A = this chain, B = another copy of it.
Amino acid sequence: MEKPIKFALLGSGTVGTGVIKVLKENAHEIAARIGAPLELAKVLVRDMEKKRPQLANICVTDKIEEILEDPEISIVIEVMGGLHPAREYMLRAMEAGKSVVTANKDVVAQFGKDMFDMAEKQDVDFLFEASVGGGIPIITPLKQCLTANKITEVMGIVNGTTNYMLTKMTECGMEYDAVLKEAQEKGYAEADPSADVDGLDAARKAAILASLAFNTRIQLSDVSVEGISKITPMDIEYAKELGYVVKLLAVGKDSPEKGVDVRVHPVFLPMDHPLASVHGVFNAIFVRGNAIGEAMFYGPGAGSLPTASAVMADVIDVARDIVNKTFGRIRCTCYEEKKLCPLEDTKSSYYVRLLVDDKSGVLGTIATVFGNEGVSLKSVVQTKQSVVEHAEIVAITHEVEHRKILCALEGLEKLPVVDEIRSMIRVENSRG
């Protein structure tokens, strides 16, 4: 067995504690896999005074230089989170010739290119499996196992908070506000839940997934984002009746004609879709490629130990490279310039729910407006409402450009018989 490979940990929060625990419990297996033991040499903390029982007998420092200038340390694990100084510390670590492993989706989504370029320049590894889908292996499958494919679609439930909330709304018919409160009480949602419920967290992961899947650089600003706060129990009820479940999806599509299209939004998903049975805080990523057809990767999307599982897998990978004296064997191949498909040109089916006056002929009037804008309807249903003299109309369209559905809604809004456009949600029917 070779001499120990030393690494440093930046941050000692939830994920950092998980890393220490996994290293301790599975040291034997890990060393056997690498051919050398791993040794945690130093941990960077913000506050030296704070008591940390998990760090007993481990060298703790609040000076990044003590890690960067230590020639014994060959791997730096960044689990501090946030953009700064995480980005700068990682760049400096690579400049100092160390390989970097991170769980930081913010930095990878926003500054991925800087990171990949620096890793290539310095001939070190930069790995980030834990940045998407927590413990689920998805980055390595995209970089390695599915590389013989042209990937045309990547679609994921990548935010556990919103999936928990939508699952609860589906199972118990709860209102959005009530379910958010419960998620906050259980610790599944933050006090300020906006990053989750507004879809920003999922958008970062969508950018990372699409970049890898389509071999291009998708910026966070390229992702169109819509959260779940407008979803009502009524929408979920209609979805059920029509054979769908409502999920918040990160969607990336690549077609030679239209370009790359990346978005986050709620979706009506057919109940027999593999992603439809992903419940609660679990995550899953569905991939379509021209050789494999379809594949799905399922598991825990967050949590101390699952995230540590992904972080440590990357560390073992780097350590294997150190033992074999090879680096950057698997470069990030986000090298192609691809055009983006503007949101208005993306195509989908849509579910539209309207509150209308309960008069004869309304349904016909509405269908005509859809037709005038070139939106063909697959089904349209009118139901009585508790509100006096009102009815609800639920329409499902055939596949149509986003631009056209917006025009149709504009037209509907002007109709005197339409009191309110209550919802518009995309319907996913793409399984081949």
Contacts of A141 in B (CB 8 A): 137, 140-141, 145
Within 8 A of B (CB), among A3-50: 18, 22, 25-26, 29-30, 32-33
> Least Cβ distance of A309 to chain B in Å?
4
Within 8 A of B (CB), among A278-315: 279, 289-300, 303, 305-306, 308-313, 315
Q: Is the interface of A mostly helix, strand, loop or mixed?
A: mixed
Residue in B closest to A35 when the chains form the complex, CB atoms: B331
Contacts of A306 in B (CB 8 A): 291-293
Q: Is A144 an interface residue (CB 8 A)?
A: yes
Contact partner of A293 (CB less than 8 A), chosen from B32, B135, B297, is: B135
Q: Is A111 an interface residue (CB 8 A)?
A: no
Contact partner of A294 (CB less than 8 A), chosen from B289, B300, B320, is: B300
| Alpha-carbon gap, A215 to B28, bound state (A) | 12
Q: A25-B290, A295-B135, A300-B292 are in contact. Are A147 and B316 (CB under 8 A)?
A: yes
User: Could you tell me how many residues of chain A have their Cβ less than 8 Å away from some Cβ of chain B?
Assistant: 59
Contacts of A316 in B (CB 8 A): 144, 147-148
Q: A29-B215, A298-B274 are in contact. Are A292 and B146 (CB under 8 A)?
A: no
* In contact, A292 and B148 (Cβ under 8 angstroms): no
* In contact, A324 and B333 (Cβ under 8 angstroms): no
Q: A140-B141, A320-B330 are in contact. Are A22 and B291 (CB under 8 A)?
A: yes
* In contact, B33 and A309 (Cβ under 8 angstroms): no
Contacts of A140 in B (CB 8 A): 140-141, 144-145
Add 7 more A-B contacts to A129-B145, A137-B295, A148-B315 (CB < 8 A). Answer: A29-B150, A293-B300, A293-B303, A297-B297, A320-B330, A321-B329, A329-B329
